[in-house]
Amino acid sequence: MNGIGKTTIAEEVYSRLRSDSDYEGCYFKANVREESRRHGIMSLKEELYSTLLGEQDLKIDTPDGLPDSVKSRLIDKKVLVVLDDVNDHREQLETLIGSKLDLFGNGSRIIITSRDKQVLAGRVDDIYEVMPLEFNDSLRLFNINAFEKNHTNNKEYKELPKMMVKYAEGIPLVLKVLGRLLRGKDKEVWEDYLGRFRKNIPIKIVHQIFRSSYNDLNRHEKKIFLDIGCFFNGLSLKVDDIQLLVKDHDNSMHVELESLKNKALITISHVNVVAMHNIIKQSALEIVREESNGDYEKQSRLLDPDDIYYVLKNNKGSEAIRSLAIDVSIIKELQLHPKVFAKMKKLQYLDIYSKEYSRDFVRSRRGLYLPQGLESFPNELRYLRWAHFPFGSLPFNFSGEKLVVLDLQYSYLTQLWHEDYKVKQYASTFEGSSSFLRQDLANLKYLKLDSSTFLVELPDLSNATNLEAIDLRLCTMLKNVHPSVFTLNKLKKLDLGGCFSLESFESDIHLTSLRYLSLASCTALKEFSVTSKEMVKLNLERTCIKQLPSSIKLQTKLEKLLLAHSYIENLPESIKNLTSLSHLGLQNCSKLRRLPELPPSLIILDASGCVSLENVNFPSTAHQMLKENKTRVAFWNCLKLNQHSLNAIRLNAQINMMKFAHQHISISRDHDYDAQ
């Protein structure tokens, strides 16, 4: 049953288990049903194992099982995993955690919530069925939300709370929203609502409760409520993102979001992700239909696949449409008119997504087709996602000035904007023509073009002054990155993993905000020199670089440096000054001959397969190591190590064994004292 409290119970159990036990990896995913619908099950799978293994850029190519390299790291790992609201497709669960639930180490716990008991039958050790609240518990929860402290004994309301509670049918979410709706209102208002409930059948009462809460909202709150319910829910957007996407002019929407949260219409997680319960989302969709009197063309927000199919097929778009979201993998081939969006002048949010992110999807003859091309997009767009975008560039007359999110995964782009010949010719007659051609992308925060295998260049992004994340993974024909990228002062994440044609990535400009940079599997990359004092993770695995830039010493916040399978020949002496470095990955660096003194902050050092490695240095004194060192080292197949290095490795191992024994003796003594 929806709204019965499954997620709340799962969150509480997860919180307690996580704080009380020694799990080596923890993962909680709310609303798997909606998340997998909007992002695809493989996206969730990669997120799950990236979190458990602490690898932000982990890629898993197959829905069936896991690579052996991942399995081997999980088999002895004690983990806590919660998957909330798994739907009735058994394949979904099998894709995420396997059919036998045996991927993890002893002591692991997997908690699954679902509306369908059959999803769990025969696959789990125990099933707990959440039942509606008993009357007294329902009354208590309602009163907590309806009255101020110590106000429940007010005789003015008499039996009204008890009468209200019976219409909520023991559903906690409904009780909570109903209580917040009536809080602070006069007795006459309570009686008016009670009269309305008596005239409706039970299934409509729940919607009427949410509709009444909606009617109490101001104009801005109503707009945001419908935007979240009909578009943003399931996109894992944070408060700051939604404020950017929905703001009018310079007005902040923080107050409106807090108001919706206080009325229990949305939730905001501990990491600031905004979500709406499915039962409330359904009411939001129903409100949109009611306000348009069921006329598809007049609906402000389109989410139902049948409604969208009708509007697109018959070119019935209108200025009323504010958002449109559809999974094209469920649509049989639909050919569209090149002016399909021409009438949707106020369209702000467009999401044409697919749960099938592969070229096989294109061969299946499903989805949207525009044989005559696409004339343009509405310039009001703030969110644009189009999986498998079928053109070589965006329409040249689309400005993108208001875009916050631009996501064109698996596209056929060769360049982002086509510099039309006539535009070039016109611009050349003016002084400063290059700035004329530069797109004004001042609101753009996220640029996602990964797996666009035909992309050969990026445009000048110097006007994208608020850009925080760029994803260009597997853009296999991209040979260089526009220099303007290095001038982006708010850029925090840049992922170029798998850009096989990229040969050089260099800049003398020190980026001010970049925290995460991946060039993993850029197999042609020979030259690298990029620095940011804010860098936390740098991934240069499977590249041809031979040395790190001298400026690496400035990256004192660097925690993870990954160089596995690279051509690195030596590490700079200054690496010992990277006082935050905790993970150094050097697996199979076949040309590496020497390791200089490493920082005492190091926790993981893996130099397995460094077949040329001869000399290794650890922190200076054994006393320092005994006091501070937690390092887990691996030197498998390092057959050229000299005796001094072997002695240092042996000493490190002995110290770690002593610390392990000391810790367990201390724990044992504590238990003995407790017993006494």
pLDDT (tens digit, 9 = 90+) per residue, 494-546? 999 999 999 999 999 999 999 999 999 999 999 999 999 999 999 999 999 99
Q: Is the pLDDT of residue 413 over 90?
A: yes
Q: Within 13 A of 458's CA, how many CA atoms are on the CB side?
A: 23
In degrees and rounded to multiples of 5, residue 48 shows phi and psi of -60, -55
Cα–Cα distances (Å) from 643 to 16, 22, 586, 616, 647, in that order, read 49, 37, 21, 10, 6
Same domain, yes or no, for 428 and 457?
yes
Q: Is the pLDDT of residue 431 over 60?
A: no
Query: Can you give the CATH number for the domain in which 235 is found?
Result: 1.10.10
**385-404 residue pLDDT tens:** 999 999 999 998 898 999 99
Q: How confident is the model at residue 625 (pLDDT cuts 50, 70, 90)?
A: very low
Q: Which of 606, 651, 649, 604 is nearest to 630 (CA)?
A: 604
**201-231 residue pLDDT tens:** 566 778 888 898 999 999 999 999 999 999 9
Flag the least confident range among 257-261, 284-288, 333-337: 333-337
Q: What percent of the chain has pLDDT over 70?
A: 86
Average pLDDT over residues 103-118: 88
Q: Is the pLDDT of residue 408 over 50?
A: yes
Whole-number Å distance between alpha carbons of 493 and 554 = 18
Residue with tokens 């006393």: 623
Whole-number Å distance between alpha carbons of 173 and 397 = 47
Residue 352: inside a domain:
no
Q: DSSP string of 35-102? A: HHHHH-HHHHHHHHHHHHHT-TT-----SSS--HHHHHHHTT--EEEEEEEE-S-HHHHHHHH-SSS-
Residue 12: inside a domain:
yes
Residue 459: inside a domain:
yes
Q: Which of 232, 215, 335 is nearest to 274 (CA)?
A: 232
Average pLDDT over residues 107-116: 89
Number of domains in the chain: 5
Same domain, yes or no, for 17 and 45?
yes
Same domain, yes or no, for 441 and 564?
no
| Whole-number average pLDDT of the chain | 85
**135-159 residue pLDDT tens:** 999 999 999 998 876 555 566 777 8
Render the burial of 585-607: b for 16+ CB within 10 Å, e for the rest.
Answer: bbbbbeebeebeebbbbbebbbb
- Please give the structure tokens belonging to residue 436: 């004329």
What is the pLDDT at residue 72? Answer: 85
Higher pLDDT, 646 or 581: 581
Same domain, yes or no, for 159 and 143?
yes
53-62, 412-421, 611-620 — which one is most confidently predicted on average? 611-620
Same domain, yes or no, for 393 and 510?
yes
**Contact, 572 vs 599, CB < 8 A?**
no
Average pLDDT over residues 276-287: 90
**13-53 residue pLDDT tens:** 999 998 877 898 999 998 888 888 888 888 889 899 999 98
Q: DSSP string of 471-504? A: E-TT-TT-----GGGGG-TT--EEE-TT-TT--E
For residue 238, how far is the Cα from the chain centroid?
10
Full residue range of the structural domain in which residue 197 is found: 135-215
Q: Is the pLDDT of residue 673 over 50?
A: no
**Contact, 236 vs 273, CB < 8 A?**
yes
Average pLDDT over residues 399-415: 94
What is the pLDDT at residue 531? Answer: 93
Cα–Cα distances (Å) from 552 to 135, 387, 511, 565, in that order, read 64, 37, 13, 20
Whole-number Å distance between alpha carbons of 256 and 217 = 9
Asked which of 199, 215, 231 is the last residue of a domain, the reply is 215
Same domain, yes or no, for 562 and 659?
yes
Q: Give Cβ neighbours of residue 359 (< 8 Å, ≥ 6 apart).
A: 410
Residue 84: inside a domain:
yes
Same domain, yes or no, for 142 and 206?
yes
Same domain, yes or no, for 557 and 490?
no
159-168, 221-230, 239-248 — which one is most confidently predicted on average? 221-230
Q: How confident is the model at residue 69 (pLDDT cuts 50, 70, 90)?
A: confident
Q: Pseudo-torsion of CA 115, 118, 120, 125, nearest 10°?
A: 120
Q: How confident is the model at residue 89 (pLDDT cuts 50, 70, 90)?
A: low
Higher pLDDT, 669 or 259: 259
| Burial class of 131 by CB neighbour count within 10 A (0 to 12, 13 to 18, 19+) | exposed
Q: Which of 577, 635, 566, 567 is nearest to 602 (CA)?
A: 577
**452-497 residue pLDDT tens:** 999 999 999 999 999 999 999 999 999 999 999 999 999 999 999 9
Same domain, yes or no, for 244 and 203?
no
Residue 172: inside a domain:
yes
Average pLDDT over residues 92-111: 84
Same domain, yes or no, for 32 and 98?
yes
Residue 49: inside a domain:
yes
Residue 375: inside a domain:
no
Cα–Cα distances (Å) from 586 to 166, 388, 458, 635, in that order, read 64, 36, 32, 10
Whole-number Å distance between alpha carbons of 95 and 72 = 18
Q: Which of 429, 465, 430, 416 is nearest to 445 (CA)?
A: 465
Asked which of 285, 313, 341 is the last residue of a domain, the reply is 285
What is the pLDDT at residue 31? Answer: 86
Same domain, yes or no, for 503 and 396?
yes
Asked which of 251, 285, 319 is the last residue of a domain, the reply is 285
| Burial class of 403 by CB neighbour count within 10 A (0 to 12, 13 to 18, 19+) | buried
Q: DSSP string of 115-180? A: S-GGGTTTTSS---PPPPPPHHHHHHHHHHHHS-TT-TT-TTTTTHHHHHHHHTTT-HHHHHHHHH
What is the pLDDT at residue 458? Answer: 93
Residue 311: inside a domain:
no
pTM for the model stands at 0.83
Average pLDDT over residues 125-133: 87
Same domain, yes or no, for 408 and 474?
yes
First to last CA, the chain: 49
Q: How confident is the model at residue 358 (pLDDT cuts 50, 70, 90)?
A: low
